[in-house]
Structure 1
Amino acid sequence: MFLSCQKYNLSVPPGTTPTSTCTIFKCQNPHVSNEHHSILRKHNSKSTAYLLRHLSHKGGGSDHQPIPKPKPSELQDPMPHEEKVKVLELSLVRKRTPQFPGSIYAQSPSDPDVGSSLPPLRTLFQSNDDEDKEEEQEMIMRALEIRRKVTEEVFKEALRRGKFGITYINSLVSRLSGFIDYIMIEAAHLKKLPQYANSTFNLRAKFIIEDSRVVPLIRWLKHNELTNPRIAKLILMSRGKTDSIWSFAEWLKSLRVKGEFLGVVMLNAGQNILQRNHEELDEIVLYLESNGVRKEWMGYVISRCPQLLSFSLEEVNTRVQFYLDMGLNQKDFGTMVFDFPRVLGYYSLEEMNEKVNFLKEFGLQSTDVGRLLAFRPQLMACSIDEQWKPLVKYLYYYGITRDGMRRMLNIKPMVFCADLQRTIVPKVRFFEDIGVQKDAIGNMLVKFPPLLTYSLDKKIKPVVIFLMTKAGVNEKDIGKVIALGPELLGCHIVHKLDVHVKYFLSLGIRLRQLGEMIADFPMLLRYSTNVLRPKYIYLRRTMVRPLQDLIEFPRFLSYSLEGRIIPRHKILVENQINMKLRYMLACTDEEFNRMVKGIIRKRHRFESGVTNDDTSHPQSDTQGFEHVVTTEDINADVTTLQLFFTKMEVLNDLITAGIVQQHFNELVEKKELLCLNKQNSSSQFVTRHLTCKDRIAIKRANETIRVRTMLGVAET
């Protein structure tokens, strides 16, 4: 390799005595073009630039002027872009990077700053050309990104000291870019203070993180079951002032807001809730307490509707007055807000007015709507276009009028909150499948609206299966039973229906007969056994009616014992009338009295010998009562009368027997019936003259004895 040497003589400034001659040799490859190449190793770049400037200065010699000191930008040779990026990374990194021996930018562990041997950063941003300005802008953005990464590492290290997991830290920090920028800006601003003028960026960033108490705040929020996204959103809402989160949480605790709802309230109470004054919030709370919302309810109300805290006092007053104008008092308003807090602060006033006007179209007044909302405020959560209008069309298709819908709304408002396709339509289709007629479905829904709120698989189908398998209702009558008694679907199978079925079967009623009774009167299974038992005992023991009468007329158990059964039975006994239970009870008091008078009038005419009675009886002999005794009954056997006196002690508890005893005493007083020897078994009874009334009493006694004998009553 051939080298060429060039000799340069240094000129010494005037007034100095040269002590020696310095010669600079420039060695280069003669085969390489004499072009300027940037030297990567520049330990003495300033000295070299100063020397080259001196050598290229014009007018050498003794009259040479003093060489001015060059500017830093003139001393520094242009640096490649890759070299600038490397200098930025080495200057802004958080930790010292490993360096090999002899590295250009030496960094020793004893250096207080990792960039102690690096060129100043200001030398990287000195440009005059437009292209250089664009490059400088790019370098500034690159420097910010490096600083942001360094700040993230400092923040992650603080979280690791707080005993958080690596996965949790990475997930949380990735959502806190705004808070990371806040730490970076505050750490840079902190350098202006004298006590932090010479401190590193990492130290200033650590001080900002510790001063904000963000790590204990994250620990507390995580303890209260807040997820990473919610914690990040809450910290960003604080705008760096995390103390506002602590103070607002203490205020919520004073209102008895539970810890699991603290984060939810702070997130949903508005973007500026952390910047609001607590005195304004106290005024809202006091206003709600003055209108019926109890203090112990306030935490529950705010937990379920934190939007209340985002309103001003005037807006809250407008919303409260909206409900008070519909006739609600403070007690009803307070319970309504407690039952459904969203009714007050979640919906807009326009939406609330629109829903109230829609409810008024069913014929309800403002006060009626107020009572309806006080009872079921969840109606405000329903959508008019998505829920109410399709439901109204569906009900109208099954023949339910506006009055029927109003009745359904008053009895069970939750029907208008149910989902049409998922809740109502499958149940109506099931009723059609079991045989309920289309026109009967509408009447059934109007009669018992809670039916639409029951579960199809857990409530309705099990009851239908029970009626068909355990209660004796056949497949042909099951639709009729459900249509006539939809209330049966609301009864508990084990505690209600099964108990009643076992009770009726214990009376001697067969399963098939019980099914027919239920088909005739489905409400039979809804009465309490404590109500049924006294009526049955009175029917069998006092009225001395067979079980078949109850099977033929199961509605007997639906009438009041003290209000209808006993009074009417006494009237029939006093007038010696016997009729079927259907005609005895299934009429009004006026019709019953008119029917009894007609029977008595017909009897008197028969006894007086009048046969051409032109008065008509409301019921025939076979339909209503046992007709009076004819002349054939006058020739009663004497042994029948003797048997009557033998059974008298058994029938003392019966009203009928008492009447017979009374007639017997009257006959003895009249001496129309003589007893020759009552104690002797061969006693004979001689009848001198028995009226028709006496014959009737004797016949009733015979029938009573026959019935008692069939029932197996022991003789005394």
Structure 2
Amino acid sequence: MVGVGLGLLGSSLTHPFPSSSACSSLFPQQPPPPTTSSSANFLVSSSSIAIFHRHQECIPFLKFNGTPRNELKPLLSQESFRPSRQLSVACSCISSLPNSRIDLAMFFSFFREVGLDEKEMGILLDKNPSLSLVSLDSIRNRILSLQSVGIDGLALSYLITKNPYLLTSEEIDPFLCFVRDGLEGKIEASRLKRLLSSAEPRFLVGFDQKVRLLLQRGIPQEKIIHVLNNVNLYKALCRKPVEEIDITITFLSRFGGIDLIVRRPVILDYNLETQLIPRVGFLTKLAAGDERAAGSVLRKLPAILSYSVEHMEGHAELLRSFAGLSDEEIFKIVLVFPNVISASRERKLHPRIEFLKQCGLNSNEIFKFLIKAPLFLGLSFEENLAYKLVFLVKIGYRYRTKDLALAMGSVTRTSCENMQKVIGLFLSYGLSCEDIISMSRKHPQILQYNHSSLEKKMEYLIEDMGREIRELMAFPAFLGYKLDDRIKARYELKRETLGEGMSLNKLLTVSADRFSRKKNEERSVVTGD
């Protein structure tokens, strides 16, 4: 097989495409080479001759009128938004059929260089017999246009074999020109291949108008390529009329609008009436009709719109019937952890709620647990929770107890490695496993704090404040305050007036306003004001 870039196509198939040149200048009409046998790169078989003549004889003479030259402005250049500076791009079109038919050797040589074998050429003509009557120059220009947007090699061969009308349909050139020049050729070739292999050419009409609508409705210019490369172009744009796209954006504007689309472009793929409205409606109903609250969920997790109403209702029903939660409680959980909707009911929700019930938690306690530790429903059991559960039981937590459940809730916010280092740190300072469990009952968060931060606070408590490590047994919340902004700052201010033995609890738990007032009062007493 003759490689691309040889023979008839020559260097034109690898011709560079300047971003601001006219299409006609990019695809110069080259005179066909001599039709003698020496100009062909291979011998045309008798079967090839039969295929070609069979299609020429069975088709009446067709005349292809050139499509009008289109003027496009690059969307991605700043000038495109200034009416006074327009970039005129002339798109090459399918030229009129010449009086003489295409030379047989030229026709087959051309498609050999594109990458088709004799069998594929036969399929090509069977699917689109009019190819045998079209100007070879117009076919060459169309292939060059496809290559200019990144479709070449095997992808090009596959595409024109699957959809031969791409080589003759007049709707193709304006679309390719807009993609190449208006969008600077930044649409992924795989997206274009998927679109062109399945969409009828008529659905490509108005593509540029729909892209401009997205920009007009607020999608940032620098994000438009991101959006287009993350949607199904056929579903999101080509198949939908402009009016439907506009109405969809208007509907979403009540819940996050353009921000939702930019963060989750695939939302544009969904049907407004059968998908978006029912799914948003379910969340709004769960929120007791509060659209603002439903919008908060959507802004936290736009991907929640990918789940059907049946899927979301199944999750809500499990939380109602098995966990005993009300719709109000369910929505509050969804609000703090929207990914609860994506968690498997069979592998995660049911067994973990069952665990909490076995630990003695009632419906109200389960709700409070899930509000504080919603990740418990989403983390992997095998790679995360199982290790933590075993470790907690090893240090003395009793299985199927509320203490164990609360400890599990706390450690969902930390890694297995950090949790082990925290417990190791406590043990290194002379605390026992029983002491650790006792502290965690009073302040469960101690198991999730960063071990390096804890070590600095414990060092300051012992070395700078001169206190005993066992004072943490009475007030483990000490480890939750910021070292510099709270502990050091207040201790240095109060040390002179309250002395070294001041209560850690009183020192740190007083609100900032009350602490400031007391500080001013003490200063007034000292100065005699």
Category of TM-score, reference length = shorter chain: 0.5 to 0.7
Offset at 1:403? Answer: 2.5
Offset at 1:347? Answer: 1.8
Match in the other structure for 2:194: 264
Q: Deviations over 1:530-559 (max 9, x none)?
A: 653565355445665433332354334235
The AA in structure 1 aligned to 2:292 is T
Match in the other structure for 2:300: 375
Alpha-carbon separation, structure 2, partners of 1:295 and 1:571: 56
1:251 to 168, 171, 178: 178
Match in the other structure for 1:144: none
Q: Is the Cα–Cα contact under 8 Å of residues 468 and 475 in structure 1 kept in the other structure?
A: yes
Q: Is the Cα–Cα contact under 8 Å of residues 323 and 370 in structure 1 kept in the other structure?
A: no
Q: Deviations over 1:509-537 (max 9, x none)?
A: 23453344345533112224565356535
Structure 2 residue 334 is the aligned partner of structure 1 residue 406: no
Q: Is the Cα–Cα contact under 8 Å of residues 418 and 453 in structure 1 kept in the other structure?
A: yes
1:55-94 equivalences under 5 Å are none
Match in the other structure for 2:112: 161
2:414 to 481, 491, 496: 491
Match in the other structure for 1:308: 237
The AA in structure 2 aligned to 1:289 is L
Change beyond 3 A, Cα 1:263–1:403: same
Alpha-carbon separation, structure 2, partners of 1:441 and 1:227: 59
Aligned-partner SS, 2:229 = helix
Alpha-carbon separation, structure 1, partners of 2:314 and 2:284: 17
Offset at 1:338? Answer: 1.5
Q: Deviations over 1:239-272 (max 9, x none)?
A: x515654552342234221223221243566652
Alpha-carbon separation, structure 2, partners of 1:571 and 1:340: 52
Match in the other structure for 1:107: none
In structure 2, list runs of 5 or more residues that go unmatched: 1-45, 55-103, 516-529
Match in the other structure for 1:292: 218
Q: Is the Cα–Cα contact under 8 Å of residues 115 and 157 in structure 2 kept in the other structure?
A: no
Match in the other structure for 1:200: none
Structure 2 residue 207 is the aligned partner of structure 1 residue 281: yes
Q: Is the Cα–Cα contact under 8 Å of residues 423 and 452 in structure 1 kept in the other structure?
A: yes
Offset at 1:302? Answer: 2.0
1:425 to 339, 350, 353: 350
2:473 to 533, 551, 560: 551
Alpha-carbon separation, structure 2, partners of 1:223 and 1:519: 66
Q: Deviations over 1:292-322 (max 9, x none)?
A: 2122222222233212233333222212211
Offset at 1:394? Answer: 0.7
Change beyond 3 A, Cα 1:465–1:512: same
Q: Is the Cα–Cα contact under 8 Å of residues 336 and 377 in structure 1 kept in the other structure?
A: yes
Change beyond 3 A, Cα 1:456–1:215: same
Q: Is the Cα–Cα contact under 8 Å of residues 481 and 522 in structure 1 kept in the other structure?
A: no
The AA in structure 2 aligned to 1:291 is R
Match in the other structure for 1:395: 319
Offset at 1:406? Answer: 1.9
Structure 2 residue 435 is the aligned partner of structure 1 residue 513: yes
1:99-110 equivalences under 5 Å are none
Higher relative contact order (CA 8 A, sep 6+): 2
Offset at 1:344? Answer: 2.9
2:247 to 290, 309, 318: 318
Q: Identity percentage over the alignment?
A: 18
In structure 1, list runs of 5 or more residues that go unmatched: 1-91, 97-112, 115-152, 191-206, 594-716
Alpha-carbon separation, structure 2, partners of 1:94 and 1:232: 17
2:403 to 480, 490, 494: 480
Q: Deviations over 1:446-488 (max 9, x none)?
A: 322233232222222233334445xx24443776244355141
Q: Is the Cα–Cα contact under 8 Å of residues 175 and 208 in structure 2 kept in the other structure?
A: no
Q: Deviations over 1:580-618 (max 9, x none)?
A: 877x689878xx99xxxxxxxxxxxxxxxxxxxxxxxxx
The AA in structure 2 aligned to 1:252 is V
Q: Deviations over 1:645-675 (max 9, x none)?
A: xxxxxxxxxxxxxxxxxxxxxxxxxxxxxxx
1:648-659 equivalences under 5 Å are none
Match in the other structure for 2:128: 182
Alpha-carbon separation, structure 2, partners of 1:533 and 1:186: 78
Aligned-partner SS, 2:187 = coil
Q: Is the Cα–Cα contact under 8 Å of residues 444 and 484 in structure 1 kept in the other structure?
A: no
The AA in structure 1 aligned to 2:315 is L
Q: Deviations over 1:158-185 (max 9, x none)?
A: 587237476xx75x569x57x52532x6
Change beyond 3 A, Cα 1:467–1:223: farther
Q: Deviations over 1:338-396 (max 9, x none)?
A: 211122342233432222222122225223333432332222221112x1111111111
Alpha-carbon separation, structure 2, partners of 1:520 and 1:211: 80
Offset at 1:156? Answer: 11
Alpha-carbon separation, structure 1, partners of 2:213 and 2:116: 45
Matched length: 405
Q: Is the Cα–Cα contact under 8 Å of residues 355 and 384 in structure 1 kept in the other structure?
A: yes
The AA in structure 1 aligned to 2:227 is V
The AA in structure 2 aligned to 1:293 is I
The AA in structure 2 aligned to 1:308 is L
Change beyond 3 A, Cα 1:372–1:267: farther
Alpha-carbon separation, structure 2, partners of 1:157 and 1:283: 38
Match in the other structure for 1:460: 385
1:342 to 266, 275, 288: 266
Offset at 1:273? Answer: 2.5
Alpha-carbon separation, structure 2, partners of 1:181 and 1:554: 78
Structure 2 residue 329 is the aligned partner of structure 1 residue 443: no
Alpha-carbon separation, structure 2, partners of 1:482 and 1:424: 15
Q: Is the Cα–Cα contact under 8 Å of residues 162 and 197 in structure 2 kept in the other structure?
A: yes
Offset at 1:337? Answer: 1.1
Q: Is the Cα–Cα contact under 8 Å of residues 284 and 290 in structure 2 kept in the other structure?
A: yes
Offset at 1:408? Answer: 1.8
Aligned-partner SS, 1:491 = coil
Q: Is the Cα–Cα contact under 8 Å of residues 389 and 408 in structure 2 kept in the other structure?
A: no
Aligned-partner SS, 1:162 = helix
TM-score, normalised via structure 2 length: 0.62
Change beyond 3 A, Cα 1:514–1:181: closer
Structure 2 residue 168 is the aligned partner of structure 1 residue 241: yes
1:125-136 equivalences under 5 Å are none
Alpha-carbon separation, structure 1, partners of 2:199 and 2:461: 68
The AA in structure 2 aligned to 1:480 is D
Alpha-carbon separation, structure 2, partners of 1:251 and 1:532: 59
Aligned-partner SS, 1:508 = coil
Aligned-partner SS, 2:211 = helix
Aligned-partner SS, 2:244 = helix
Q: Deviations over 1:480-503 (max 9, x none)?
A: 244355141231233x32332333
Q: Is the Cα–Cα contact under 8 Å of residues 441 and 483 in structure 1 kept in the other structure?
A: no
Q: Is the Cα–Cα contact under 8 Å of residues 265 and 302 in structure 1 kept in the other structure?
A: no
Alpha-carbon separation, structure 2, partners of 1:448 and 1:522: 11
Q: Is the Cα–Cα contact under 8 Å of residues 407 and 446 in structure 1 kept in the other structure?
A: yes
Alpha-carbon separation, structure 1, partners of 2:330 and 2:145: 54
TM-score, normalised via structure 1 length: 0.47
1:635-654 equivalences under 5 Å are none
Offset at 1:398? Answer: 0.5
User: Between Structure 1 and Structure 2, whose CA radius of gyration is higher?
Assistant: 1
Moved more, 562-571 or 243-252: 562-571
